[in-house]
Amino acid sequence: MAMTDEKQSLLDHIEELRKTLFKILIGLVVGVVVAAFFVKPILEFLATPIGGLEKLHAIEVTESVGVYMRIALLAGFFCWLCHGFSINYFDLLGKD
């Protein structure tokens, strides 16, 4: 997104918004896929206060899959957020 003095039409703004939202979605999907490989260690870390994974029990049939997906989504979102912050921070500083 370059800062220019020329005015853009509404369609240009919408096109730029669409591109930005697509980049955000791609970054989030990549973050979730990467985080999916680390769900087991994250779950073990989160379960240590209660005595480990052996103490956890699934009440519903789909609960274990839901927990797996939620941890992957939240960890991917956190990775995406940290990565996005670092990119914006260096853009503000003017560094490559």
Q: Where are the domains of the chain?
A: 23-93
pLDDT in tens, 23-62: 888 888 888 898 899 999 998 898 888 888 888 888 888 8
Q: Distance between CA atoms of 77 and 35, rounded to whole angstroms? A: 9
Q: Is the pTM of this model over 0.95?
A: no
**DSSP secondary-structure letter at 51?**
T
